[in-house]
Amino acid sequence: MGKSRQSSLTHHAFTAPGTMSMMAPILLTKGTSMGRLQGKVAIVTGAGGGIGTAISRQFASEGAAVVGVDVDTGALARMAAAVRAAGGGVSTLSDDVADDATAVAAVACALAEFGRLDVLVSNAVYDLPLAPLTGLSLADWRRTMAVNLDSAFLLSKHAIPAMDAGGGGSIILVASQLGSVARPGRPWYCAAKGALIQLAKAMALDHAGQHIRVNSLSPGPVETDRYVRNFDTLEAARASHHTLLGRLGAPDEIAAGAVFLTSDESAFMTSTDLLIDGGYTAV
């Protein structure tokens, strides 16, 4: 949601002994839909970003309608075009997810435009330059927590009654591998993402009786514009992967996890963190 800022911190590549860089697989595109989300309605925040757009597009390919929320109007328009091209219905809301009114409006939009709400993907993120805790201002700390953590609380608070009225649903809080392990210069990010993993577990306990499943989805390093702009070159970004598979992830690989967590294939899955990190956390 908020714009990323560049960092001058040098990143170093890691490749496990005996491994080679592997190409990202080709995933589902238009024409190969299985309709696993047919008739579902989803709110996706951070919908204009690389992962948010991939999730929205794959949701549409599987039969879902999407309400996309993002502060970047241009990115939001491109996401909407991608959803329509995939055959899905889409409505957009360009506003700040840190505001309670945005959460209210997003839920109201889903109900007014599509008649129900089945899915929430809380995916908004606000970046800061890499720095230790002592290098952060209180204003920056509060802003990143407002977007990265508070927005998940606000959207969930207003989405849950609508899901309950429709018989249940699925909530996905997009966290990170850095919610489980740490990297230098990322205290605010690690804190927020770790909190999202625990928030999903607590919500799953509270709302299982309403047939609402809550899981977190933790991507590893993924080749998105937000990630790449932290480096001087695309090659430097790709060399920073620290994964066992020798590459960055692709947005569609993360989106496939979101489709799974939303579909009936994961009907017996709640309070879990789905980690898609290329083996990043194994070392």
Which letter, b or e, does each residue of 21-49 get, where b requires 16 or more Cβ atoms within 10 Å of its Cβ? eeebeebbeeeebeebbeebbbbbbbbbb
> Residue 28's pLDDT is what?
42
Q: Is 30 a member of any domain?
A: no
Quote the number of domains for the chain.
Answer: 1
pLDDT above 90 as % of the chain: 78
Q: Is 29 a member of any domain?
A: no
Q: How far are the Cα atoms of 58, 78, 225 from residue 196, in angstroms, in the given order?
A: 23, 28, 23
Separation between Cα atoms, residue 91 and residue 106, nearest integer Å? 9
Q: Which residue(s) pair with 99 in the sheet? A: none
Q: Is 132 a member of any domain?
A: yes
Q: Is 162 a member of any domain?
A: yes
Q: Is 270 a member of any domain?
A: yes
**Of the residues 126, 189, 227, 280, which is catalytic?**
189
Neighbours of 264 (CB within 10 A): 9
Please check whether residue 111 is in contact with residue 165, taking contact to mean a CB–CB distance below 8 angstroms: no
> Residue 11's pLDDT is what?
30
Separation between Cα atoms, residue 241 and residue 248, nearest integer Å? 5
> Residue 13's pLDDT is what?
33
Residue 280 a catalytic site member: no
Q: Is 209 exposed, middle or buried (0-12, 13-18, 19+ CB in 10 A)?
A: exposed
Query: Can you list the residues of the chain whose pLDDT is less than 50?
Result: 1-23, 25-32
Q: Is 116 a member of any domain?
A: yes
Token reading at 175: 């966290």
Separation between Cα atoms, residue 282 and residue 132, nearest integer Å? 24
The per-type count for the chain, helices as H runs and strands as E runs, is 9, 7
Q: Is 27 a member of any domain?
A: no
> Residue 237's pLDDT is what?
83
Q: Is 23 a member of any domain?
A: no
Please check whether residue 187 is in contact with residue 179, taking contact to mean a CB–CB distance below 8 angstroms: no
CATH number at 71 reads 3.40.50.720
Q: Containing domain of residue 80, as a range?
A: 41-282
Token reading at 16: 């496990």
> Residue 34's pLDDT is what?
65
